[in-house]
Amino acid sequence: MTMAICTSTAVEPLTLESASRHIYDTALTDSAIGVVGLEIETHVVDLTMVRERPPWATLRQGLDAAAAQLSSSAVTVEPGGQVELSGVPARDVAAAVAAMRYDEQRLRLVLAEHGLGLAHVGADPLRASRRINPGPRYRAMERHFICTGRAEAGATMMCSTAALQLNLQAGPPAGWARRVALAHQLGPTLSAIAANSRWLTGRDTGWASARQRAWSGLDPRTSGAVAASGDPAQDWVRYALDAPVLFATTADGDTMAVAKAVPFSAWVSGRVRLADRRPTLDDLRTHLSALFPPVRLRGYLELRYLDVSAPRWWPAIAAVAATLLDDPVAAAAAAEATEPTAGLWTAAARAGLADPALAASARRCLAIALERAPAPLRTAVMDLAELVESGRSPGDLASERIAEIGVESYLGEVSHA
């Protein structure tokens, strides 16, 4: 399907046709495969009061001091005070990991001077899900989830989760359908390996990834996987138009929560009016930024299904994911290895590597990645492969440590690391 470039300005009202054109044209970009971007979310902990989230002013003071000392990463703050480091695209996954490791360590050292530590775990294992970021976007999202009956899942997702995100090039158009399909197919296996959030708000949830469980509790039109038809850009158009709008900007510039599930298609077609107007290109761009499928299309591929892990493990997980998608030999082998587990999203979140099929595909994928991973990361991948071969994941090690010393001591221990 071919569409012309959308010519609407950012403030002109959109039509259904112009919105569809923009979504389609920006979904995937013709590019060479190889460049990798990394984003890491991590929980910030008050080292003197582990049970309490740090005050917003203290957090901002520490982050402002750290920002000038990072090599390249941008720093943003999630609703619950989690910090996100967004690295600039690097020539390959090894370079991306090296840059992120440097910035992660700089951030940790500067925050320690302000009495703050970093906890690399997929869900906050101790503290209640409470928003501390006063930003209007997050206030409106919180209100939307309350009004639409998804308050608990929304609060958990916003305030208590942390991810490792890979941004990978779309590649040449002829391979888009196959590449996007593989990114989805690898999801259950990779998320089972990365599952690192069994504990949440002081209790054992019984799920390997409480983070993934929280995403599944949201509206699937916003956080579910994108249905595949063979044209991933057109699939993304349908997904984005069907997804509910979380918030809108009023004429006075205020951010207004949408108190019911209103698909963007209903707003842009005029069936429903939000903020007493039709949407603009700016509104569409904001809407696209508030969609959370496991694989999001932004001209490139965002892999959003990985829990963050301890600094010992996340570089290997990033290397495995990038290698299995970007190396053609590894990609072909991984496609075969993960075919039996392609749809096991719930099993991956609930059981992780305790699921026999996922454990088998994980061992096979790590063996493939170990042969093809960049040399600077091969030792890290070998370490991870040996752990998975033993039947355990980084999340299992975290759970074992919590069983030994308790959840509060664990959070303090990893925050001081």
Cβ pair 372, 379 in contact under 8 A: no
Cβ pair 221, 119 in contact under 8 A: no
- Model confidence pLDDT, tens digit, residues 214-223: 999 999 999 9
Q: How far is residue 3 CA from its own chain's centroid? A: 29
CA angle 178, 222, 169 (to 5 degrees): 35
Cβ pair 260, 149 in contact under 8 A: no
Among candidate residues 83, 81, 77, the one with its CA nearest the CA of residue 55: 81
Per-residue confidence (pLDDT) for residue 12, from 0 to 100: 86
Average pLDDT over residues 277-305: 97
Confidence of residue 285 (pLDDT cuts 50, 70, 90): very high
Percent of the chain, pLDDT > 90?
A: 95
Confidence of residue 248 (pLDDT cuts 50, 70, 90): very high
Three-state SS for 83?
Answer: strand
Strand boundaries in 300-392, DSSP class E? 301-307
Average pLDDT, rounded, for the chain: 95
Determine the Cα–Cα distance for residues 349 and 261; give it in Å rounded to an integer. Answer: 26
Determine the Cα–Cα distance for residues 398 and 407; give it in Å rounded to an integer. Answer: 10
Cβ pair 346, 216 in contact under 8 A: yes
Strand pairing report for 83-86 and 116-119 = unpaired
Average pLDDT over residues 173-197: 98
Question: Mind listing the domains of the chain with CATH numbers?
Answer: 36-122+153-229+294-416 (3.30.590.20)
What's the pTM?
0.95
Average pLDDT over residues 57-84: 94
Cβ pair 248, 38 in contact under 8 A: no
Determine the Cα–Cα distance for residues 234 and 215; give it in Å rounded to an integer. Answer: 24
Phi/psi at 230 (nearest 5 deg)? 110, -15
Average pLDDT over residues 63-75: 91
Per-residue confidence (pLDDT) for residue 10, from 0 to 100: 65
- Model confidence pLDDT, tens digit, residues 21-33: 999 999 999 999 9
- Model confidence pLDDT, tens digit, residues 324-342: 999 999 999 999 999 999 9
Average pLDDT over residues 308-316: 98
Q: Assess whether pLDDT exceeds 80 at residue 294.
A: yes
Q: Assess whether pLDDT exceeds 70 at residue 406.
A: yes
Q: Assess whether pLDDT exceeds 50 at residue 2.
A: no
